[in-house]
Amino acid sequence: MNAHTLHTPLTDDDVAALRAGDMVLLSGVVYTARDAAHRRLVAALNRGEPSPIPLAGHVVYYVGPAPAPPGRPIGPAGPTTSGRMDPYTVPLLERGVKGFIGKGHRSPEVKAALVRYRAVYLAAVGGAALLLADHIVEARVVAYEELGPEAIRELIVRDFPAIVVNDIYGGDAYEAGQRAFRRRR
**pLDDT tens-digit map of 38-93:** 999 999 999 999 999 999 999 999 999 999 999 999 999 999 999 999 999 999 99
- Predicted confidence at residue 163, as pLDDT, reads 97
CA distance 95 to 71: 36
Least confident window among 8-12, 23-27, 45-49, 181-185: 181-185
- Predicted confidence at residue 180, as pLDDT, reads 78
CATH topology of domain 3-184: fumarase (3.20.130)
- How large a percentage of the chain has pLDDT more than 70? 100
- Average of pLDDT values for 126-137? 92
Q: Mean pLDDT in the chain?
A: 95
Q: What is the pTM of this model?
A: 0.95
What are the domain boundaries of the chain? 3-184
- How large a percentage of the chain has pLDDT more than 90? 89
Nearest to 31 by CA among 161, 151, 159: 151
Contact status, residue 23 vs residue 165, Cβ threshold 8 Å: no
- Predicted confidence at residue 183, as pLDDT, reads 80
CA distance 89 to 95: 10
- Angle, in degrees to the nearest 10, between helices 108-117 and 86-94: 10
- Average of pLDDT values for 11-19? 98
User: How far is the first Cα of the chain from the last one, in angstroms, to the nearest whole number?
Assistant: 22
